[in-house]
Amino acid sequence: MAAAATGPQPEPIRFFGTTWVKHDGGYALRRAGAALGSLAAAVMGAYLLRLAYEGLEIGNVGPFLSISVVVLFAVASSIAFAKTWESFTRRSAPSSDEAALKGLKTIGFIGSLIAYFLRCLAEAPGERLHRAEYERATAEFARRSRSRTGNPAARRPKRRK
């Protein structure tokens, strides 16, 4: 037997589940943990990149390659930051260039981690987008369920005047 429709269910957010709806279930602690975790990962990543750069210096590859590597990671990180930040406020179109930028976002992982850290300071990353979609779906469900009262087949036909 089918259960009665209970309305739309909130979409879970990574690391937060559905605690973002009512800010319960350790939501504040999760936000703090996600912020600290992403900041620690960004610092560790920057340290590893520094070690890689020092390896280039020890290998005496020349100034052109050393500068090129620094510029590559700086540009990739800034693009990754911008795209990650943008993904918190709107969904990308299915035919967008997100798949093509996946490699660039991987190279610029520090930018993505910093965007995640900064968003965690205000809300769960993507919470505003998910909340707007959830409230829109809830309002639509309420509107549709209000307009349906009774069995339309059992109604009497309207009289013509």
Token couple for 78: 């800034």
Reference 15, options 1, 33, 42, 2; nearest CA is 33
Q: What pLDDT is attached to residue 1?
A: 42
Reference 15, options 3, 5, 26; nearest CA is 26
Query: Phi then psi for 23, rounded to 5 degrees?
Result: 55, 45
Q: Residue 14 and residue 121: Cα distance in Å, rounded?
A: 16
**Tens digit of each residue's pLDDT (9 = 90 or more) over 9-47:** 888 888 888 888 888 888 899 999 999 999 999 999 999
**Tens digit of each residue's pLDDT (9 = 90 or more) over 101-159:** 888 888 999 999 999 999 999 998 988 988 899 999 999 888 887 765 667 677 777 77
pTM here is 0.79
The yes-or-no verdict on residue 96 having pLDDT over 70 is no
